[in-house]
Structure 1
Amino acid sequence: MSGSVTIAGLGPGAEALVTPEVSAALAEATDVVGYIPYVARVAARPGLTLHPSDNRVELDRSRHALEMASEGRRVVVVSSGDPGVFAMASAVFEAVEAGPDAWRDLDIRVLPGITAMLAAAARAGAPLGHDFCAINLSDNLKPWALIEKRLRLAVEADFAMAFYNPRSKSRPEGFVRTLDILKDACGDARPVIFARAVSTPDEALRVVPLPDCRPEMADMRTVVIVGSATTRVIARDGAPFVYTPRSVAP
């Protein structure tokens, strides 16, 4: 049997948002590897072995997947959202580059998924309708000074911004500092979208002017989208529509 590694995105949460391509890969897998809550989304069946592991062991998880594929197993490495956006695809290729030469000849595929950022944007309207950037606010793998630099440059460039991992129990101060930087650098009341657990039963969405934003509005299940200077809010009964126009006046 020829082994393989498929790095698959499970989307933001709802089963309907898992792509048919990913579902087919899971149906053919002998082994599924991933972070505990993501592996829990994969239904057990005969012939499939689930390998859940804790957070922050991405390289160990990747090496395990590659070793099993070298033994002829069909391995799927799962991430939420898209595996190439702050997720497992980079970790697997990092392991490949540092590992045995034979790993480079394995059948390795990356299957895209719907990111939390795009699911959140769709719920709100079209806040990422023009140029935007995504920033992971966790300083586990990069220094805070770099995060702050990128925040300030993104504001200067007037990007809409999507923030992943905004606020955890172990590092609540990071999002406090992020809001302070934005309020200082933006100088306006641009809209901020707090989108929590989009497409799940716990979904919650709120649109808040930047000056009124508070750190406790976000947690690790929240994607925060900050509009650019041109982002518009269309008031209506219920939640407003938020969109960024496709063009910018010269």
Structure 2
Amino acid sequence: MTQTPTTGALVGQTAADAAAALVPSALPLAAAAATHRDVPAGSSALVASFVGSPSAELVLVAGPAVTDAVAASAVPLEVADALRPALEAAARTLGAGVLETVRSEPVERVLGDDVEVFVLQAEGAAPAAWFAVRVRGAKVATPTTSQVPTPRANLRMLYDVEMTLTAEIGRTRMSVRQVLDLAPGAVLELDRTAGSPADVLVNGRLVARGEVVVVDEVYGVRVTEIVAGNETGGTVG
């Protein structure tokens, strides 16, 4: 009798499929269920925590073909940078949330029986990478009236949290081949005209726009517009 995949398994498969589409490979990759014992021992795993509902740990382990290709690149490129788009694609399948900085850990430390593991490979080829996800369900509690904090109290909890603001003057999309062909003197044409406002982003979310200024020989942005909450920034190409 055919078994119906559980919701958790479907979440893992969807995330793995999204990651497989963006792992560098000369051939299309497909994600197939595996176990943590299939991942070569002693490998280094790239791990990124996803904070959302649900929250999860996303893991990618690059195979020799991927690591060799990155090492042979004419442009200095870290494996974490090459695989970050794949982790971001997997994270988007989980819903709204924030993907934290990618870190490197021994595979034995992050993979176990509580992790869904998938092998990413082209038909008839050696595995290009392994993807794993550990989903942590959101804990929901129903507070009593006396436990419900006021909105201002909620904000006070966040006052000392540091956030990274990024100013962006434009974007462009390039293939891996074009990136590898970059050389000093190359000019990249962005998607905005000269004088267009710069975007101010917090954790990748558009919050304001402004004009670029120079303050004591340091670049700055003079805010000219606060963006409404329903307007968001695009995805980096």
TM-score under structure 1 length normalisation:
0.23
Larger Rg: 2
Task: Identify, as 1 or 2, the structure richer in helix.
Answer: 1
TM-score under structure 2 length normalisation:
0.24
